[in-house]
Amino acid sequence: MPRNDPTDTGGLFIGRRPGTAPLRYKADPERAGERRRRTDALLAAAVLALEALVCLTLWGPQPIAWLWIGSQVDYHGGSITLALAVTFFGMLGTLMITLGIATRLDRVWRILRRAAGHEQQEGVLPRIFAVTAIVALVLFSIWFVIIEGPAPMLAPR
């Protein structure tokens, strides 16, 4: 087992630094022509946009939809506890489903990027997730502070 501690190897690194392993395929891929690769690049961009949209739904449409469903449960069932439980678990369920869809889209995106000629090692989902969260937070803050204004009990009547 080679030692890769520089104090054991005279200051030299032996082996590869973590996270720099090359991509390994089952066999060397047969790459198509330039036109197909350009098409794959466009498809990858479209999948990326779709992935971003899917992630954005987590921060607005989905919570709003579940709040609406919860309000309906409360109205028709007369139970606030049940309404809260439906909203919470429903939100959790669609979150899982959305992440599953986004993960699959991310895999498709990676494959399309490689087919387009890029050595795409990692997916982009964590970054999209973070960016969409920031975008949603900024939009919410603008709506909450500027458009909707302070709460009625603080504002002059």
Partner 1 sequence: MRRFLGYYRQFEELSPEEVSRDLRRRRDEEKAQSLTETPALDLSSPAWHEPPHAEIVNAATFALRRAVNAYPDAGAEALSAALAARHGVEPAQVVAGHGAGELLRAALQALLAGAGNELDPHPPTVAIAWPGWGPLPRLVHEAGGRPVPVPLGRDGAADVDALAAAAGAGGDGVRAVALCSPNDPTGGTIDAAALRRLAAALPAGAWILLDAALADFEEPGADLAALTGELDRLLVVRSFSKAHAMAGFRAGYAIGPEGSREFLARLAPALGASAPAQAGMTWAVANGERYLPRRRALAASEREHLAAALAGTDLAFPPGTGPLLWLSSAGLGGRELAAELAAKRIFVAPGTAWGDDRHVRVALRGPGATDRLAAALKELAAG
Tell me: does residue 9 bind partner 1 (CB under 8 A): yes
Specify the residue, 11 or 152, whose C-beta has the smaller distance to partner 1: 11
Specify the residue, 22 or 152, whose C-beta has the smaller distance to partner 1: 22
- 133-136: long-range contacts at Cβ-Cβ below 8 A with a sequence spacing of 24 or more? 133/59, 135/56, 135/59, 136/56, 136/58, 136/59, 136/60
Rg, the chain, Cα only: 24
Specify the residue, 10 or 156, whose C-beta has the smaller distance to partner 1: 10
Q: Tell me how far, at minimum, the Cβ of 17 lies from partner 1, in Å.
A: 17
Specify the residue, 91 or 114, whose C-beta has the smaller distance to partner 1: 114
Specify the residue, 70 or 123, whose C-beta has the smaller distance to partner 1: 123
| Cα angle 76-152-88, degrees, rounded to a multiple of 5 | 35
Residues in contact with 13: Cβ distance below 8 Å, sequence separation at least 6, in sequence order: 4, 6
Tell me: does residue 1 bind partner 1 (CB under 8 A): no
Q: Please, which of residues 24-53 interact with partner 1 by CB under 8 A?
A: 24-27, 29-30, 32
Q: Tell me how far, at minimum, the Cβ of 58 lies from partner 1, in Å.
A: 27
Which one of residues 4, 14, 16, 23 is an interface residue with partner 1 (CB under 8 A)?
A: 23
As a whole number of angstroms, the distance between CA 54 and CA 8 comes to: 50
Instruction: Give the CA distances from residue 43 to residues 37, 47, 106, 129, in Å, rounded to whole numbers and listed in that order.
Output: 10, 6, 12, 20
Quote the longest CA-to-CA distance of the chain.
77
Q: Please, which of residues 83-122 interact with partner 1 by CB under 8 A?
A: 111-112, 114-115
Q: Which residues bind partner 1 (CB under 8 A)?
A: 8-12, 23-27, 29-30, 32, 111-112, 114-115
